[in-house]
Amino acid sequence: MVSMKDIAKRCGVSVATVSKALNGQPDIGGETRARIAAVAEEMGYMTNSAARALKTNRTYHLGVLFVDERQSGLSHEYFSTVLESFKVEAESHGYDITFINHNVGGRPTTYLQHCLYRGVDGVVIACVDFNDPGVRELVDSGIPLVTIDHVFNNRLAVVSDNVEGLSELVRYVYGKGHRRIAFLHGQHTAVTENRLIGFYRACEELGLEIPPEYVRECAYHDPDRCAQVTRELLALPERPSCILFPDDYSYIGGLNALNEAGLRVPEDISVCGYDGIHLARVLKLTTYSQDTKTLGATAAAGLIRLIEHPKTTLTDRIRIPGRLLPGATVKEV
């Protein structure tokens, strides 16, 4: 590891001069400062993070709290792309990321204790049980924080526009002539609430009466559960002509159930997904694509603003629009 002493020796100056030059002290000449900076870069010098933290009162570490109940981890394409975008944006501002969990060195901790132990400057929370007391403790702490797809009072939130997303899907399907539209939604979350509002709002605007049995709770990212609920829909005396599935990945289970029933998509029944993951494009699934890149980047930029400019940054709700991706799974009737 290259030290300031090594740089001082190469440049023929004192260690104190090197320290002042690298830390932007004003009493160093411009030519000397430039020469020291060039040598430091050439030698691969890196500032000690602990020393930088003492000087700036920051660690330049951001915590990531991500707990997927389906245990798909970072193979969850929607959240993995959101977090990758968050990481890229954070790194462009000189920040590293650290995943937050329930233990440190094999010892159980709370999320807040882990954050304090790691000394993170701020935290992004995505895909957790937002009613978990441990999550609420972290949210109520003084640590700068941003949530993705969930809103807490007085906390910055970046959310996909799920109300408009479902409304646009319904309007598209209606425009294709469908009137018997079923909606399989995920478990009770803020995302689900917004999608239900979008669904019913569009139906009301279009004058559609949707039977209660057409709207069923399913689960996000769970093909098996989706297959079972799809079978229940198909067993109704009058089955829907189009089914909106909770997400593109869960649709695989629904497709299996349709195949078992001998139904072809879209000749016998039409379908839509949600998210716009790569799988949807492969299957030519009509879906609503969430802008995961902008979601992640906006969350990172907002969190960094909270850290660096706490007195001038609004703890707002930022909605990120997506776009409809017409595929080949909705038949005109």
Per-residue pLDDT at 30: 83
| Distance between CA atoms of residues 42 and 35, nearest Å | 11
User: Minimum mean pLDDT among 126-130, 171-175, 204-208, 308-312: which range?
Assistant: 126-130
Q: Which residue has the tokens 């093909």?
A: 223
* Opening angle at CA 177, ends 172 and 280, nearest 5: 45
In this predicted model, what pLDDT tens digit does every residue of 104-145 receive, in sequence order? 777 888 999 999 888 899 999 988 888 899 999 999 998 999
Architecture of the structural domain at 4-46: Orthogonal Bundle (1.10)
pLDDT for the residue numbered 56: 57
Q: Identify the architecture of domain 162-290 in CATH.
A: 3-Layer(aba) Sandwich (3.40)
What pLDDT was estimated at residue 49? 52
pLDDT at site 20: 80
Model confidence at 222, pLDDT cuts 50, 70, 90, reads very high
Distance CA 109, CA 253 (A): 37
Domain 61-160+293-321, CATH class in plain words? alpha beta
| CA 17 – CA 243 distance, rounded (Å) | 70
| pLDDT classification of 43: cutoffs 50, 70, 90 | confident
* Residue 69: band (very low, low, confident or very high) from pLDDT cuts 50, 70, 90: low
Residue 72: its pLDDT value, please? 56
Q: Cβ(280)–Cβ(327) under 8 Å?
A: yes
Residue 331's pLDDT is: 97
147-160: pLDDT as tens digits: 999 998 889 999 99
Nearest to 24 by CA among 64, 61, 52, 60: 52
Using the predicted structure, report yes or no on whether residue 218 has a pLDDT greater than 90: yes
pLDDT for 55: 55
What pTM value is reported for the model?
0.81
Buried b (16+ CB within 10 A) or exposed e, 158-167: bbbbbbbbbb
Indicate where the chain has its CATH 3.40.50.2300 domain(s).
Answer: 61-160+293-321, 162-290
**How much of the chain, in percent, has pLDDT values that exceed 90?**
67
Q: Cβ atoms within 10 A of the Cβ of 215, count?
A: 17
For residue 71, the model assigns a pLDDT of: 54
Mean pLDDT along residues 164-189 = 96
